């Protein structure tokens, strides 16, 4: 039966320079759909508890979904591995055109294990697989390596994933830069790639993705595009991308300022879409096949940093490298973001760490490096720290390259009070003191502090979730909402959908696209059940790798310090509030008071083997 799965996974062993093509079992597709689901299952089954994330036995996976490479708005891909930053499950998503190209080459995913003898890169040309010498690429930034490989292979149409110097140096929050200038950014997948002596993966495919019912698929996609266009959020994203969220977060008191001390920034408009459109943007751009075009093409044309091309400075980068550091010149923020991209470092973690270092210097815990005034508002100091972290050539760079959790532990007890992370993953740019449900989402996410595994902010601030009243400052009624959002996110991340490209698209429409693409009927509610299954499996993986109930918590700043400004001024999320939300969450999830999935829960989700390993 023709369907949108290729039914093949490419397994590459760098230690032996070999590869094999694995079939995709029907039961894997039935229970986990694709994308995050496939990655979670392979990671749980094949990466033993205690495996060193930077060791040769860790898996590095690039997974597509059943709708990838089709007309459907599901053009992204995901990287799944064991995170070197947290020691836990990691899934990190990327847009652009690499994921469809993997599908065109004939694979539902690529699984990489082992370690090459010397720096190398993988060349995938349909069924021709080569592991090529990459020593001449080592030391090059992400985009330079991309250009060099295309020139070497004589084809500018190749789709490539690269790491920069940060990945080579195994900076624990280094990323993978995917074609074109899209990143699998969070959690340190770039360090895993560097630990394998793998500089890049180049892919060229010539196989069309064929769907089971072409006419039915066209109709289902037409419905999806119609639902997208009718969503009130889409026009905002089309005009201003995520940069429009800067002023929204500022007005609601959720924008981090000076290492999350505050929730507002007086100069927020300068780094929002208003400032970016004035100083950077020249036009719009989109990931492959995306009807929204939420990204931008632009350049810094004036001032100290003029002379380089940039795209949109996304909300998280603008907030964490701008407002969080008290920097209001969007040209400087674009410059800092570009440096992170070239080194191959997560700009979110980088901004968090720079803010942490600035506060540590302010408190006298660390000195200013020679010739650098390490203080909030100093873009030169921020640039110095980015270079230091990416190269690890000085003491402060080595310290910060470990992530804020480990850096704070080395600096002592006082530093722990303003190290903002959950389970080792640096906190995103949505301060939770004014939205307690967002705090619960941070506490319970499977990869550590993350806003993309359930984003309840809009529901909380609107005062209602599916008929249930919502007071953003109170802990009541938050658990069911967060669980629903997490399950749906995990289930549709198995497709792999775009977060923005899914706005307005109903579960029923996703089910129709899936049926027409694969020939397998799925009930809309099955996405929720699949997401719940994935969520419980990743919880089991994390528990086996050292996670425990005490780590389901928020940074001390959000618990001990009241918000000094904004609509929620004077509020914090207390220990009592956290305990209430967490126990309600565990109960509804079907977990024990210690956060361990109960046998009956795992049995219902067909995860009995996971229960037997607990």
Name the residue with higher pLDDT: 352 or 236.
352
For the domain spanning 432-613, the CATH number is 1.10.599.10
Mean pLDDT along residues 603-608: 95
> For 591, which DSSP code?
B
Q: Are 404 and 85 in contact (CB under 8 A)?
A: no
Mean pLDDT along residues 359-376: 96
- Give 144-147 contacts, CB < 8 A, sequence gap 24+: 145/199, 145/200, 146/177, 146/179, 146/200
pLDDT at 234: 76
pLDDT at 170: 98
Q: How far apart are CA 403 and CA 171, in angstroms?
A: 8
pLDDT tens-digit readout, 396-415: 999 999 999 999 999 999 99
Q: How far apart are CA 344 and CA 19, in angstroms?
A: 27
Question: How, if at all, do strands 8-13 and 109-113 pair?
Answer: parallel
Q: Are 392 and 191 in contact (CB under 8 A)?
A: no
> For 242, which DSSP code?
G
Lowest mean pLDDT: which of 11-20, 323-332, 491-500, 548-557?
491-500
pTM summary value? 0.96
CATH number for domain 241-419, candidates 3.40.640.10, 3.40.50.20, 1.10.569.10, 2.60.40.1930: 1.10.569.10
Tokens 């953003």 belong to 472
Mean pLDDT along residues 268-286: 87
Q: Are 362 and 354 in contact (CB under 8 A)?
A: no
pLDDT at 298: 85
pLDDT at 612: 66
pLDDT at 340: 97
Name the residue with higher pLDDT: 388 or 237.
388
Residue 5 clears pLDDT 80, i.e. is over it: yes
Mean pLDDT along residues 409-431: 98
Residue 171 clears pLDDT 70, i.e. is over it: yes
Q: Are 256 and 451 in contact (CB under 8 A)?
A: no
Mean pLDDT along residues 388-393: 97
> For 446, which DSSP code?
B
Report how far apart, in Å, the C-alpha atoms of 465 and of each of 145, 325, 480 are: 47, 34, 10
Give Cβ neighbours of residue 461 (< 8 Å, ≥ 6 apart).
252, 435, 472
Distance of CA 51 to the CA centre of its chain: 22
% residues pLDDT > 90 (the chain)? 87
Q: Are 35 and 494 in contact (CB under 8 A)?
A: yes
pLDDT at 28: 97
Residue 570 clears pLDDT 90, i.e. is over it: yes
Residue 611 clears pLDDT 70, i.e. is over it: no
The three-point CA angle 71-76-77 to 5° equals: 125
Give Cβ neighbours of residue 590 (< 8 Å, ≥ 6 apart).
597, 598, 600, 601, 604
The ranges of the chain annotated as CATH 3.60.9.10 are: 8-204
Residue 235 clears pLDDT 80, i.e. is over it: no
Give Cβ neighbours of residue 47 (< 8 Å, ≥ 6 apart).
57, 58, 59, 82
Residue 80's DSSP bridge partners are 61, 91
Residue 259 clears pLDDT 70, i.e. is over it: yes
pLDDT at 295: 79
pLDDT tens-digit readout, 188-198: 999 999 999 99
Average pLDDT, the chain: 95
Q: How far apart are CA 473 and CA 548, in angstroms?
A: 26
pLDDT tens-digit readout, 62-95: 999 999 999 998 889 999 999 999 999 999 999 9
The pLDDT-based confidence of 381 (bands split at 50, 70, 90) is very high
pLDDT at 297: 81
The ranges of the chain annotated as CATH 1.10.599.10 are: 432-613
pLDDT tens-digit readout, 502-556: 678 999 999 999 999 999 999 999 999 999 999 999 999 999 999 999 999 999 9
Residue 1 clears pLDDT 80, i.e. is over it: no
pLDDT at 373: 96
CATH number for domain 8-204, candidates 3.60.9.10, 3.40.50.80, 3.90.25.10, 3.90.79.10: 3.60.9.10
The ranges of the chain annotated as CATH 1.10.569.10 are: 241-419
Tokens 């109709």 belong to 219
pLDDT at 164: 98
- Give 505-513 contacts, CB < 8 A, sequence gap 24+: 505/73, 505/224, 505/227, 505/228, 506/227, 509/220, 509/223, 509/224, 509/227, 510/224, 512/216, 512/219, 512/220, 512/223, 513/67, 513/72, 513/217, 513/220, 513/221, 513/224
Convert 486-512 to b/e letters by CB count within 10 Å (16 or more is b): bbbbbbbbbbbbbebbbbbbebebbbb
Distance of CA 89 to the CA centre of its chain: 12
């Amino acid at each position: 039966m023709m369907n949108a799965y290729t039914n093949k996974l490419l397994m590459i062993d760098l230690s032996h320079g070999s590869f094999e093509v694995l079939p995709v079992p029907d039961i894997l597709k039935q229970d986990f759909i694709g994308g995050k689901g496939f990655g979670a299952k392979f990671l749980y089954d094949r990466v033993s508890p205690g495996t060193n994330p930077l060791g040769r036995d860790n898996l590095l996976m690039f997974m597509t979904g059943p709708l990838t490479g089709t007309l459907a708005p599901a053009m992204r891909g995901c990287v799944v591995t064991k995170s070197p930053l947290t020691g836990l499950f990691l899934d990190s998503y990327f847009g652009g055109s690499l994921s469809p190209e993997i599908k065109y080459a004939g694979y539902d995913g690529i699984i990489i294990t082992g370690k090459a003898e010397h720096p190398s890169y993988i060349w995938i040309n349909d069924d021709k697989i080569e592991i090529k010498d990459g020593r001449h690429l080592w030391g090059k930034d992400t985009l330079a390596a991309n250009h060099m490989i295309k020139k070497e292979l004589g084809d500018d149409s190749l789709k490539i994933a690269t790491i920069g110097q940060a990945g080579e140096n195994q900076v624990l929050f280094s990323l993978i830069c995917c074609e074109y200038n899209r990143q699998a950014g969070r959690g340190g997948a770039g360090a895993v790639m560097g630990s394998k002596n793998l500089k890049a993966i180049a892919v060229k495919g010539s196989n069309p993705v064929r769907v089971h019912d072409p006419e039915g698929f066209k109709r289902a996609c037409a419905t999806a595009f119609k639902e997208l266009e009718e969503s009130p959020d889409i026009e905002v994203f089309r005009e201003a991308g995520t940069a429009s969220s800067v002023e929204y977060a500022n007005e609601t008191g959720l924008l981090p300022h000076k290492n999350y001390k505050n929730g507002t920034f007086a100069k927020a408009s300068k780094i929002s879409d208003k400032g970016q459109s004035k100083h950077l943007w020249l036009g719009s751009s989109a990931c492959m096949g995306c009807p929204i075009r939420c990204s931008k093409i632009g350049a810094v044309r004036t001032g100290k940093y003029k002379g380089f091309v940039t795209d949109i400075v996304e909300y998280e980068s603008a907030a964490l490298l701008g407002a969080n550091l008290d920097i209001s010149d969007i040209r400087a923020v674009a410059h800092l973001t570009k440096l992170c991209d070239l080194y191959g470092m997560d700009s979110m973690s980088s901004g968090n760490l720079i803010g942490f270092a600035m506060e540590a210097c302010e408190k006298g815990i660390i000195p200013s490096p020679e010739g650098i005034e390490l203080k909030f508002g100093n873009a030169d100091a921020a640039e110095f720290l980015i270079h230091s972290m990416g190269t690890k050539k000085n003491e402060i760079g080595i310290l910060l390259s470990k992530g804020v959790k480990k850096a704070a532990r080395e600096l002592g007890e006082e530093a722990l009070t303003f190290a903002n992370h959950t389970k080792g993953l640096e906190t995103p740019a949505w301060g939770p003191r004014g939205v307690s449900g967002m705090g619960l989402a941070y506490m319970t996410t499977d990869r550590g502090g993350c806003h993309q595994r359930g984003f309840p902010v809009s529901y909380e601030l609107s005062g209602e979730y599916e008929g249930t009243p919502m007071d953003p400052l109170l802990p009541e009624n938050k658990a069911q909402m967060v669980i629903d959002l997490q399950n749906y996110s995990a289930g549709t991340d198995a497709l792999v959908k775009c977060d923005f490209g899914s706005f307005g698209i109903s579960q029923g429409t996703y089910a129709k696209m899936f049926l027409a693409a694969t020939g397998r009927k799925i009930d809309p509610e099955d996405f929720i059940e699949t997401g719940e299954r994935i969520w419980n499996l990743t919880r089991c993986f994390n528990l086996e790798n050292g996670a425990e109930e005490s780590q389901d918590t928020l940074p001390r700043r959000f618990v001990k310090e009241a918000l000094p400004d904004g609509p929620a001024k004077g509020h914090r999320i207390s220990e009592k509030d956290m305990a209430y939300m967490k126990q309600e969450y565990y109960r509804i999830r079907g977990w024990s008071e210690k956060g361990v999935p109960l046998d009956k829960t795992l049995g219902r989700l067909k995860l009995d083997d996971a229960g037997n390993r607990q």
